[in-house]
Amino acid sequence: MANAALSIKNLHVSYYGNEAVKEVSLTVHPGNLVGIIGPNGAGKSTFLKAMLNLIPRDKGEIKLLGKTVKEVRKKIAYVPQRNDIDWDFPITVLDAVLIGTYPNLKLFKRPNKKDKEWAMECLRRVGMEDFSKRQIGELSGGQQQRVFLARALAQKAELFFLDEPFVGVDVSSEETIVRILKELCWQGKTVIVVHHDLSKANDYFNQLILLNKELIGFGSVQEVFQTEIIEKAYQGQFAFMKEIGV
Amino acid sequence: MAFIEAVMQYGFLQKALLTSIMVGIICGVVGCFIILRGMALMGDAISHAVLPGVAISYMFGINFFFGAVFSGVLTAIAIGFVTQNSRIKHDTSIGIMFTAAFAGGIIIITMLKSSTDLYHILFGNVLAVRASDMWITLGIGIVILAAVYLFYKELLVTSFDETMGAAYGLPVRLIHYFLMTLLTMGTVASLQTVGIVLVVAMLITPAAAAYLLTDRLWVMIFLASAIGVLSSVIGLYFSFTYNLASGATIVMAATAIFVLVFLFSPKHGWLWKMLKVRKKKASLV
């Protein structure tokens, strides 16, 4: 049997002794488009960063493609939250995408013409080729997100991790992004997305990880997208919504 | 004209000029990364923090380069340690650590009873540059330019999107301290030209002016160096002609260039933005 794309055993993460992620175990197989959903402060981004070894974990084992994170780093593409980026940075759209080729370049090597053509090709896939010479801050939110998706494509990765890619994004960019993520999954890649909004979760993903510090639900969208399970994760916030008569 | 004649004639002035030009280049290059990473305050801190290292080097009669790099990097590590292991915010941690290092340095120098040296270290005395100092500056310049050229990719990624760098396996913390080491070396190179107190201006003012002129990092690096060199030469001219402290005149020259760029830069300048706003308003009438 092929290796699982992602397998997590008994993951615990804390900030200064406060538990942020508690006892999470799950296995995702290649070719899935997985949404991580949960209320504010549920530890979604923390969970994502812990999976990539970007923050220390207290306990637990993480295997990506059957190996440790360290061994497969170059097969991982990570797209940060949009407000983690300095959009005034002096860099053009094409150069930002070109960074996606860096993980596969040797030390001291610069991207060559072929790499630049590949970066341009990735920009074309997200429909941003006409903007290649713009400074990244001159783009709209949706266009910026598409550029970062192009950068992830340029990495030729097997695993894609995206943190809140649909925040502040226009409808047409959103459609483009979802279409490309689905294409990646058809090609057998695995895509993990932190998603804030419940409304479209069942259209976008085929699997869901429902998180509120601990794992509330995991499985196909049909299995997890049940009122009782969702309410369990969003307990406090749902009560509040009822009070104000939503 | 008299200045050019004097440069031709006096060896000390030639050394001063060459050293200031090199300092302009070094600070321009390092400064670009400093301001893009939001570490201007860190630049100020590290430049002050080399003082105890310089003092101790004098005491033991070794080259001040080693002591300066040691105390600069040690302070950078101490700042990082306090930030990461307590609720103290980064800027507060910087404030605590660099003033402590600076104070320690003043005490050591005072105990050595050499207040003239202290004055020169703090405010620079470019006209007293010795040949050996010039060679040290050249060496530092070569090391820094080579490092930035060779690790350009890594420096770019970690300045632009550090998390992505970490995700694909770059040692981001090591790169941070590597840059701190370059910063300390740049400070040491600038000691005699502008002095500890004003080094930060050479690091950030030319880089900030360049930042307002371009949207490409490598262009910014070249422009920052050019502006640094121009400031050094203009500053040295005024220092020599009117017998003023070289650090002060060089920094004033850099500031003047910054103000011009701030007002008249073609894309990011104040004037251009104002005109754009006015045009927009007019079109709505």
Mean pLDDT, rounded, for A65-77:
91
pLDDT of residue A162: 95
Residues with Cβ within 8 Å of residue A83, at least 6 apart in sequence: none
What per-residue confidence (pLDDT) applies to A202? 82
Contact A73, B168 (CB under 8 A): yes
Nearest CA in chain B to A111: B153
Mean pLDDT of chain A: 89
Distance in Å, alpha carbon of B139 to nearest chain A alpha carbon:
21
Q: Verify whether the Cβ–Cβ distance A99 to B150 is below 8 Å.
A: no
Model confidence pLDDT, tens digit, residues A183-196 = 999 999 999 999 98
What pLDDT is recorded for position A237? 63
Q: Provide the shortest C-alpha distance from residue A98 to chain B (in Å).
A: 10
Which residues of chain A are within 8 Å of residue B219 when distances are taken between CB atoms? 90
Pairing of strands A207-212, A190-194: unpaired
Q: Band the pLDDT of A143: cuts 50, 70, 90.
A: very high
Among the listed residues B178, B187, B184, B183, the one whose alpha carbon sits nearest the alpha carbon of residue B151: B178
Q: How many domains does chain A have?
A: 1
Identify from A52, A67, A70, A99 which residue to disrupt to test chain B contact, counting B C-beta atoms within 10 A and taking the largest count: A99
Nearest chain A CA: its distance from B127 CA (Å): 37
Does B204 lie at the interface with A, CB-CB under 8 angstroms?
Answer: no
So what's the pLDDT on residue A245? Answer: 43
Q: SS3 of B8, please?
A: helix
- A13-31 mean pLDDT: 87
pLDDT of amino acid B285: 76
**CA-atom Rg of chain A in angstroms:** 18
Supply the range of the domain harboring residue A223.
6-243
Q: In this structure, is residue A97 part of a structural domain? A: yes
What is the per-residue pLDDT for B150?
96
* pLDDT tens by residue, B182-217: 999 998 888 888 888 889 999 999 999 999 999 999
Q: What is the pLDDT of residue B149?
A: 96
Q: Greater confidence, B154 or A217?
A: B154
The percentage of residues in chain A with a pLDDT greater than 70, rounded to a whole number, is 95
Whether the pLDDT of residue A19 is over 50: the answer is: yes
| Cα–Cα distance measured from residue B177 to residue B70, given in angstroms and rounded to the nearest whole number | 12
Name which residue leads in pLDDT, B122 or A112: A112
Mean pLDDT, to the nearest integer, of B42-54?
A: 91
Nearest CA in chain B to A105: B153
How high is the pLDDT of residue A244? 46
Task: Tell me if B25 sits within 8 A of B19, measured CB to CB.
Answer: no
Q: Is A135 on the interface with B (CB under 8 A)?
A: yes
For residue B253, the distance in angstroms to the closest alpha carbon of chain A comes to: 25
Any idea what the Cα angle at residue A24 is, between residues A23 and A25, rounded to 5°? 120
Check A74 against B169: CB less than 8 A apart: yes
Band of residue B138 on the pLDDT scale cut at 50, 70, 90: very high
In chain B, residues with a C-beta closer than 8 Å to the C-beta of A103 are 168-169
What is residue B94's predicted lDDT score, i.e. its pLDDT? 95
Q: Is residue A1 part of a domain?
A: no
Q: How far apart are CA B22 and CA B235, in angstroms?
A: 14
Measured between CA atoms, how close is B68 to chain A, in angstroms?
29
Radius of gyration of chain B (CA): 20
What is the pTM for the complete model shown? 0.89
Assess if residue A95 is contained within a domain: yes
Mean pLDDT (chain B) is 91
Residues of chain B found within 8 Å of residue A76, distances taken between Cβ atoms = 167-168
Q: Is A90 in Cβ contact with B167 (below 8 Å)?
A: no
Domain range B2-284, CATH architecture: Orthogonal Bundle (1.10)
Domain segments of chain B as ranges: 2-284
Q: Which ipTM did the prediction report?
A: 0.88
E strand map for A170-213: 190-194, 207-212
CATH code for position A157: 3.40.50.300
Mean pLDDT, range B90-110, rounded to an integer: 93
